[in-house]
Amino acid sequence: MTSLKFLRSAACAAALIFAGSSALAQEGQQQAPKKPITPTTMKTFAGWDVRCYPVQTPAPCDMWEAIAFKKGGQLAVSVSIVYVPSRDQHLLQFVVPLGIDLAQGAKVQTDSYTSEVWHFHHCDRIGCYVIVPEGNPVIDALKGHDAMKVHVVQFHGKAVDLNVPLKGFDEAHSSMVELARQKASDKQQAPAPTDANP
């Protein structure tokens, strides 16, 4: 399963790109880390992983799921979600394959919800990225559903719905929010360094 290992390392890189290219960058680190950061906490809920990282950031934890194409094992779609306790706000990132019509954007659908069309942020060798900075309505709409579809259009005009199972989503989300709040609380309670010399 080398493809899954690649997807996990790619998603780790994507999560760091997410943090650096979103609104979190205003409060986060100024320079990107030189090597991948290993999560200190890792929990799995069905297909969703909850990860927390040992970095000073407003959103130290994320939840992530990646789906590979059955044929070839390449990335079909990945979804990363972070929660910023200080803002009570979710940020979402979707990564879809290369070869899509960027002008058409992307949207998320369930049986009872269709998001607005989002513009692509950038593309790299992993895929093309959509970043949703105001994600609370999307999270609320996904709760209690079995699956969602990320709707994109290929460059030759064919519409494609990339299916993302939501089994374990609610439990993963609750865990991520709890861990993020706990780490934010621990950070606030940490004693401030003093300049006094003994």
- For the domain that residue 116 is a member of, what is the CATH number? 2.60.40.1880
Which residues, 6+ apart, have CB-to-CB distance to 161 below 8 Å?
Answer: 109, 149, 150, 151
Residue 145, sorted as left (phi over 0), alpha (psi -120 to 50) or beta, turns out to be beta
Can you give the pTM of this predicted structure? 0.77
Question: Is 194 contained in some domain?
Answer: no
Q: How many domains are contained in the chain?
A: 1
Q: What is the pLDDT of residue 56?
A: 79
Rounded to an integer, what distance in angstroms lies between the CA atom of residue 73 and that of residue 70? 6
Provide the residue-wise pLDDT of the chain in tens; the chain has 198 residues.
333 444 444 444 444 444 433 334 333 333 444 566 777 778 999 999 999 988 878 899 999 999 998 888 889 999 999 999 999 999 999 999 999 999 999 999 999 999 999 999 999 999 999 999 999 999 999 999 999 999 999 999 999 999 999 999 999 999 999 999 998 876 655 454 455 454
What does 84-100 look like in DSSP terms, one character per residue? Answer: ETTTTEEEEEEEE-SSB
Question: Is 196 contained in some domain?
Answer: no
Question: Is 195 contained in some domain?
Answer: no
Question: Is 178 contained in some domain?
Answer: yes
The parent domain of residue 119 ranges over 2-188
Q: What is the pLDDT of residue 38?
A: 78
* Cβ(117)–Cβ(106) below 8 Å: yes
Question: Is 34 contained in some domain?
Answer: yes
